[in-house]
Structure 1
Amino acid sequence: MTSAALEQEIPAAGGGRAPWTTRLWHSGVLFVVPFLLVFAIFLVWPIISGFVMGFTDASLNGRPASFVGFGNYVEAFGDPEVWRTLWHTVLFTLITTLPMVVIPLGAALLTNLGFPGQWLYRMSFFAPFLLPVTVVTIFWGWMYHADFGLLNAAMEAIGLDRVPWLQDERYAMLSVAVTTVWWTLGFNYLLYLAALQDIPQHLYEAAAIDGAGAWRSMWSITLPMLGRITGLIAVLQLIASLKVFDQIYLLTRGGPNGSTRPVLLYVYDVGFSGFRLGYAAAISYLVFAVIVILSLGQLKLFSRGSD
């Protein structure tokens, strides 16, 4: 029923037109007002104020902020630490993106085979995703401990030397990446599992009639039908990896020697340790622009491949 019809069915007390508040209520506008208020206060306004702050020399020391134009952005482009930490972020993204697509896909294919105890597969793959980051980093911090960690104990048991997983620049970023993949692959696993169960079974039946085996059906039916969800997962993983902060901050604090310091941790250090809120805001919006450009490019690439 349209809003005009509702207005005709709800006469005013004096027989005239219903009040505008009544019309708004019955048209559904007032139902979304609370969400719009929360959305505007906690998302839209911080985005706008942060963008404006990037053009000032705002600081945590309490002094009045003054307009500096593009000075913060010019300084950011010439700041070697921005480029260094941005490379660390890109490196982390390169290390984690492919495993976060391939491993969940393999786990979903394994679950979809119909082996007994599928609930156990689902719980095993998805349960780590439900853990908060603090629990994950404490658990893996003990696993990586150089003196009495489980990984080094296992290596000693097979005759290998201990490895300072989080204290050596050669292994620190890889260790954080392994932790991240273990922790977050459950979400991608569920997306793949839902997509697999949505593939029409008559395609497999027709392929079986034509003599196609399991491998041929997977390469000719399953993987092509998962093209769009793979593109979505790749874009989501790219965005999540470029925003990495929590697990690195809790596991390594960006060390050793800054070898795992991502750009968002540098933004945090500049803003809350160096008190330069304006400069930190400028860097964060440069990172935001990089994320948008890369995400749109990757989405365009996958969209073209699935057409």
Structure 2
Amino acid sequence: MKRSGFWFVAPFLVLYVAFLIVPMVIGLGASVTDDGITGHARFVGAANYVELFGDPAVWSSLWHTLIFTVTSTPVIVLVGLGMALLANRMAPERWLYRLAFFAPYLLPVSVVVLIWNWLYQPGFGLINDALTRLGLHEVGWLSTDGMAMTSIVITTVWWTAGFGFLLYLAALQEIPRQLYEASALDGATPFQQLRRITLPLLSRTHQLVIVLQVLASLKVFDQIYLLSGQGGIPGVRSIVQYIYESGFTRFRIGYASAISYVFFALIAVVALVHFRLVKR
């Protein structure tokens, strides 16, 4: 029985080792070298790690990543929860709400960026055109650091809130309807049902959605890189983008690997702290 079970999981183990464990070991080895594109690596020990802790660009990109995570995660979670509550109550049009709320999540990032890049354009962009028709001034959505980060958060919320919506909707459908019927007989209002029944029974789903969204936000790269014109706005550069630039623009693979492993350690600490708080 044990041998047959091993052969069932063997294909996954082979792929796991080949595409995760082996690259991690190779990357860890590269982080202690001055490895470049040429492949002539020279052992430098902890020099890359010492350099990155004194690199202002590392700290600024980490700060931008933290700002994006703190601003986008609560909004995405709340929007996903709100959409799930709406779709769960609208019985006749439930399929339409599900389709409309989840459809953006299925789009590739290039399509999402193309849509929102046109919306944000000055002059002929749909958003600025609506503002001028209302007698308001145009907004440089992607031309300044502050507005660029806000624009990226808005785009990310529109694009990724459907994932949390799907998880919340599945959890809502698992709540027994008898609880709502019994509470209604006792005179509970819809708000009291939401506060006393729905939200407490969604606590595990809250934890799952939050931790997944935090980890996804910390690894943000695509929409920032593309919306900012391939890194054209330094004030929104994320840590993953800086790793990419260090490795594939400046051709410092060893230094980029060192930043990657420090960032991996930070993500692991965040995940452990979250699980510790949840356990309590």
Structure-1-length-normalised TM-score: 0.88
Aligned twin of 2:213? 237
Aligned twin of 1:7? none
How far does residue 160 in structure 1 lie from its aligned partner after superposition? Answer: 0.8
Per-residue displacement from partner, 1:58-117 (whole Å, max 9, x unpaired)?
Answer: 11134x212221111111111111000000000010110101110110111111113421
Aligned twin of 1:213? 189
- The answer as to 2:35 corresponding to 1:58 is yes
How far does residue 29 in structure 1 lie from its aligned partner after superposition? Answer: 2.5
Unaligned runs of 5+ in 2: none
Q: What is the correspondence of 1:3-18 to structure 2 with a 5 Å cutoff?
A: none
Query: Conserved in 2, the CA contact under 8 Å of 1:204 and 1:217?
Result: yes
Aligned twin of 2:276? 300
Secondary structure in 2 matching 1:165: coil
Q: How many Å separate the matches in 2 of 1:303 and 1:198?
A: 23
Aligned twin of 1:251? 227
Aligned twin of 1:48? 25
The structure whose residues are more often helix, as a share, is 2
Q: What is the correspondence of 1:194-209 to structure 2 with a 5 Å cutoff?
A: 194-209=170-185
Structure number with the bigger relative contact order (C-alpha 8 A, sep ≥ 6) is 2
Q: How many Å separate the matches in 2 of 1:295 and 1:33?
A: 28
Q: How many Å separate the matches in 2 of 1:301 and 1:102?
A: 20
Per-residue displacement from partner, 1:192-213 (whole Å, max 9, x unpaired)?
Answer: 0000011122222232232212
- The alignment's C-alpha RMSD in Å is 1.3
Q: What is the correspondence of 1:133-144 to structure 2 with a 5 Å cutoff?
A: 133-144=109-120
- The answer as to 2:256 corresponding to 1:277 is no
Identity over aligned pairs, percent: 51
Q: How many Å separate the matches in 2 of 1:301 and 1:216?
A: 27
- The answer as to 2:68 corresponding to 1:81 is no
Q: How many Å separate the matches in 2 of 1:181 and 1:296?
A: 25
Per-residue displacement from partner, 1:219-265 (whole Å, max 9, x unpaired)?
Answer: 01100011111011110000000000011111102332x01100111
Unaligned runs of 5+ in 1: 4-23
Per-residue displacement from partner, 1:175-198 (whole Å, max 9, x unpaired)?
Answer: 011001100111100000000011
Q: How many Å separate the matches in 1 of 2:231 and 2:279?
A: 36
Q: How many Å separate the matches in 2 of 1:99 and 1:137?
A: 19
Aligned twin of 2:6? 29
- The answer as to 2:199 corresponding to 1:227 is no
Q: Which portions of structure 1, spanning 4 or more consecutive aligned residues, are displaced by more than 6 angstroms?
A: none
Q: How many Å separate the matches in 1 of 2:94 and 2:16?
A: 39
User: What is the total number of aligned residue pairs between the two structures?
Assistant: 279
Q: How many Å separate the matches in 1 of 2:238 and 2:222?
A: 10
Q: How many Å separate the matches in 2 of 1:135 and 1:182?
A: 13
2:82 corresponds to which of 100, 106, 121: 106
Q: How many Å separate the matches in 1 of 2:278 and 2:131?
A: 41
How far does residue 299 in structure 1 lie from its aligned partner after superposition? Answer: 2.8
1:178 corresponds to which of 154, 157, 180: 154
Aligned twin of 1:17? none
Per-residue displacement from partner, 1:115-150 (whole Å, max 9, x unpaired)?
Answer: 421111000100000000000001111111113111
Larger radius of gyration, structure 1 or 2? Answer: 1
